[in-house]
Chains A and B, each alone.
Chain A
């Protein structure tokens, strides 16, 4: 082969080539690309002054030591070294060097150079972007993680790493849930959700799940997970994000407990408001029994009692005792503190509970009580808690009673009406009052707002009634269109 051909071939290479005699530090060979990459004049390279060329090369380097280090590190035959040189003007050059021989005595250092400035720049940009992403991930107030198809963690943010008891986020790589502090059951559940997401390719949002942390705290998480896809849209893993809602949940429980207390307080207060009425209800039948017994006693003493008299008085007493029993049963049905018991209930029973001890009180105070509704409607059942609905009605009747008591209009009435329309049952309580003024109406559903005299109302009746009915899936509202004071409770019928 033509010996001139070799340099020509090397000049066609994109890579720069430099061959140096390691002992004499003489440049034995270079190609065109070398001068181009290093930015050294070709004429100088081809000149005889080897030391001038070397000086020029060293001058090009940000750190001249870099150039010579190669010779120290390549001691043995076929030793290889790969490094990157930083040239002035922000040029980066990759150097691949190898120790070679020419004959038995000449040690050669052969280096191949490649301009990697562009790669270096994009790597730097990528690195900056990665740092930015990491900063973002660590700044958002959520724990973030991602897993591959095998459900092993690929990455996470610092917050997650801390939850998992890891020093830094990169330590998560390759770990499975079973290697992290959560319990076996928790891990099983996490992975079950993961599998579901990847199988269905759909996100799972707002999962409430427990998590035992590295520091021993048991937390409740609100987690959302989405499948991760590559460019061809195939699922390659999943991304998860969660926030700690333990405190929120605890507060919610506290609020529920307080609401329950408030409900029972309102029951007690509603009963308190009725206490006077109930005493009246019971004392009257007791008086009848007393008087009937006194009468029988009198007849017995005078030996004037006939079997007919006896039967009559005994029947009277019997009926009166029944009357008291009914009052007490109604009272018990309404005051009984129980958990929510939703079952089909019918209006007739509810009305019986309520009226058993409200009826005489109305009559005694000159309030006419009317029930409107067909017998069929009365027997219709709807899904609700009988006791709670009764409590709401007692509350409304109490309000009506208090309002009418102060009214001068001699025509006082309270009306309970039942309407069944389509799939809805409407129970309305209307009284002869002329409606509630707008300013009161705006505030009356607020807890502790009352227009009643001090000691008479607690101001929580309506707000509790509203929340009880809404909890039962019904609606509770004031009818603004009615010329009289009217409240409506609407339920869906059963079935």
Chain B
């Protein structure tokens, strides 16, 4: 797995602690944040390769975090935790290019997704243009339209 820093954002301290312990061997460093505001501070001050983020959180929720970070032209991959399948919310974060979703409490394959996210994040950091999910999506729609 490509090494880099991982940020986990969740308002559940015990879950944050265990996720950190389980994942820290795969990455350089695990940062944790209890809400969106803390997360934004870390994203601004540290070089983060991938973010695992809860949606419902006090002070600032996951949707706000990805909105704000994209506004700053930061394309870091976001993997969202959802406590319950909320279609509307998934559509909303998908607009901002969420990388993947996990439904709590199912975490099977989390390490793998993080590892992909890291590659993606690495790619987006090194490539000048970076992947633009929206334009990819529009290109796909365009291709379909030509048939």
- List residues of A whose CB falls within 8 A of some B CB: 276, 279-280, 283-284, 286-292, 294-295, 298, 316, 320, 363-367, 410
Contact = CB atoms under 8 A, between A and B. Distances in A.
B30 to A, nearest CB: 13
A306 B79 CA distance: 33
Nearest to B106: A290
Contacts of B83: 279-280, 283-284
Interface of B: 11-12, 14-15, 18-19, 21-22, 56-61, 81, 83-84, 86, 103-105, 107
Nearest to A299: B21
A291 B18 contact: yes
B131 to A, nearest CB: 29
Contacts of B107: 287, 290-291, 294
A287 to B, nearest CB: 4
A311 to B, nearest CB: 15
Given A280-B84, A286-B105, A363 B18 contact: no
A365 B22 contact: no
A287 B56 contact: no
A286 B81 CA distance: 13
Contact of A287 (B61, B84, B104): B104
Specify the main secondary structure of chain A where it touches its partner.
helix
B59 A366 contact: yes
A289 B105 contact: yes
CB-based closest 3 A-B pairs = A291-B18, A286-B105, A280-B83
Contact of A284 (B12, B19, B59, B61): B12
Given A288-B14, A294-B22, A364-B11, 6 more contacts: A280-B56, A280-B83, A284-B83, A287-B12, A291-B19, A320-B14
28 contacts: A276-B84, A279-B83, A280-B56, A283-B83, A283-B103, A284-B83, A286-B104, A286-B105, A287-B15, A287-B81, A287-B104, A288-B12, A288-B14, A288-B15, A290-B105, A290-B107, A291-B15, A291-B107, A294-B22, A295-B18, A295-B21, A298-B22, A320-B14, A364-B11, A364-B56, A365-B56, A366-B59, A367-B58
A363 B11 contact: yes
B7 to A, nearest CB: 17
B104 A284 contact: yes
A365 B57 CA distance: 6
Contacts of A286: 104-105
Nearest to B13: A288
A387 B10 CA distance: 33
Contacts of B103: 283
Nearest to A365: B56
A289 B104 CA distance: 11
A292 B60 CA distance: 27
Q: Interface centre among B15, B61, B83, B86, by most A CB within 10 Å?
A: B83
A289 B61 CA distance: 24
Nearest to A316: B14
Contact of B58 (A288, A289, A363): A363
Contacts of B11: 363-364
Q: Interface centre among A276, A280, A298, by most B CB within 10 Å?
A: A280
Contacts of B86: 276
B22 A295 contact: yes
Nearest to A289: B105
Contacts of B22: 291, 294-295, 298
Contact of B18 (A276, A279, A288): A288
Nearest to B19: A291
Nearest to B11: A364
A287 B105 contact: yes
B22 to A, nearest CB: 5
Contacts of B104: 283-284, 286-287
A405 to B, nearest CB: 11
A10 B86 CA distance: 120
Q: Interface centre among A283, A365, A410, by most B CB within 10 Å?
A: A283
A283 B18 contact: no
B58 A292 contact: no
Given A294-B22, A294-B107, A363-B58, A283 B84 contact: yes
Contacts of B84: 276, 279-280, 283
A294 B60 CA distance: 29
B98 to A, nearest CB: 18
A463 to B, nearest CB: 29
Contacts of A287: 12, 15, 81, 104-105, 107
A365 B58 contact: yes
A289 B79 CA distance: 20
Nearest to A313: B18
A247 to B, nearest CB: 49
A382 B53 CA distance: 45
Contacts of A367: 58
B72 to A, nearest CB: 21
A352 B21 CA distance: 33
Contacts of B81: 287
A323 to B, nearest CB: 10
A485 B78 CA distance: 38
A410 B64 CA distance: 13
A363 B56 CA distance: 9
Nearest to B86: A276
Contacts of A283: 83-84, 103-105
A37 B65 CA distance: 122
